[in-house]
Structure 1
Amino acid sequence: MNTTPKHDEQMAKLTFASVYPHYVTKIEKKGRTKDELHQVIEWLTGFDENKLQELINDKVTFKTFFEKATLNSNAHLIKGVICGYRIEDIQTPLTQQVRYLDKVVDELAKGKKMEKILRSE
């Protein structure tokens, strides 16, 4: 299943600040911490807590968020299905990056061990 141009455009325009509280709620409901969430986000994007807060305050879109990010060199190891899309088959780089983030947050919420989430070769 591939994404549509409309779907990709929606991903690009969505603000990180609008999604972040949902990430926090999702992981905290499952007994994980905000610190763990920040660790996962930092692994994927290179953003420390201060930079993350700055991006939230600036209400950046996911397009800007990932343009500023330094994607982890092992991000390509994130595989599987999220929101009905097989991550490794997504052709649009930005949409794939957003789904990488969704997937690692989902794995955190599902109780996966941190060393498994923070993939290494």
Structure 2
Amino acid sequence: MAYSFIMPELGEGLAEGTISNWLVAEGDTVEEDQDLVEIENDKAVPELPSPVEGTVEKINFGPGDVAKVGDVLIVIDDGSPDTGADAVEDASHPAVIADATAHEEHSAKGGADEAVTAQ
């Protein structure tokens, strides 16, 4: 079955990213959690891992292209039976979230949290 991996939100308020480098090519076999692509944004250049294992069928963006959150970056045949509808990655894969936000959260907090209350 074809698995469509969509561009996740790479941080709060980041609606797009630039494809920096593909780490796989069409026809390659990938393992679950293998890094697929480097995405450049205003804060970092995270690598996005594959949530499934399978064969890369199609890469939809080239280096330098800008992808928006929700765009299908890559299609992977995961070998499972076709159910008539493509599976779409919803960016909830823990490795995607951890890789993309860990650096931002650490640098954004910079120590103690401050609370602001409106009156």
TM over 0.5, shorter chain: no
Q: Work out which of the two has the higher radius of gyration on C-alpha atoms and give 1 or 2.
A: 2
**Which of the five TM-score ranges fits, normalised by the shorter chain?**
under 0.3
